[in-house]
């Protein structure tokens, strides 16, 4: 009788350890996926003319790029969002004026259908 109780305790302990081991293994696998997610570089060339205040965005890739939003953060901490939307065919350049001249050091992020391109105004 005593032997049966001891074996039941060991079985219960084994099941608890197995459950926690499985739980921690699943949490570890969820945190670190086994397949790395790589993305090709964004085929977008961005230049800013400090004199005119215009951005020139050029599609240097092979497919149409859809611009969705433009985010601006100035050196003093002010931030702006422009919900500018455009489709840029391969080899085409579009000029954009956001209604504001940017200071040196402003960070501009252009969100597209393929990813985000970030440039610093210099």
**What pLDDT, in 10s, does the model give residues 6-33?**
677 778 887 888 787 777 776 666 666 5
97 and 67 together in one domain? yes
Count of structural domains within the chain: 2
Identify whether residues 26 and 50 lie together within a single domain: no
Q: Indicate whether 111 and 54 sit together in one domain.
A: yes
Asked whether the predicted pLDDT for residue 38 surpasses 80, the reply is: no
- Residue 55 belongs to domain spanning: 44-120
State residue 87's pLDDT score: 92
Query: What three-state secondary structure class fits 43?
Result: coil
Which token pair is 93? 């350049």
One domain for residues 55 and 32 = no
Calpha distance 111→118 (Å, rounded) = 9
If DSSP codes are grouped into helix, strand and coil, which group holds residue 34? coil
Structure tokens belonging to residue 55: 């951005």
Token pair for residue 117? Answer: 């391109």
115 in the same domain as 87: yes
Report the predicted TM-score, pTM, of the whole model to 2 decimal places: 0.61
Same domain? 1 vs 50: no
Pairing state between β 79-82 and 116-120: unpaired
């Amino acid at each position: 009788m005593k032997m049966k109780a001891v074996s039941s305790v060991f079985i219960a302990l084994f099941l608890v350890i197995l459950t926690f081991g499985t739980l921690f293994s699943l949490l570890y696998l969820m945190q670190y996926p086994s397949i790395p997610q790589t993305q090709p570089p964004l085929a977008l060339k961005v230049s800013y003319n400090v004199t005119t205040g215009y951005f020139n965005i050029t599609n240097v890739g092979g497919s149409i790029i859809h611009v969705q939003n433009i985010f601006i953060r100035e050196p003093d901490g002010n931030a702006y969002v422009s919900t500018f939307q455009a489709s840029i065919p391969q080899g085409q350049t579009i000029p954009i004026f956001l209604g504001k001249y940017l200071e040196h050091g402003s960070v501009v992020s252009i969100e597209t259908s393929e990813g985000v391109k970030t440039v610093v105004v210099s």
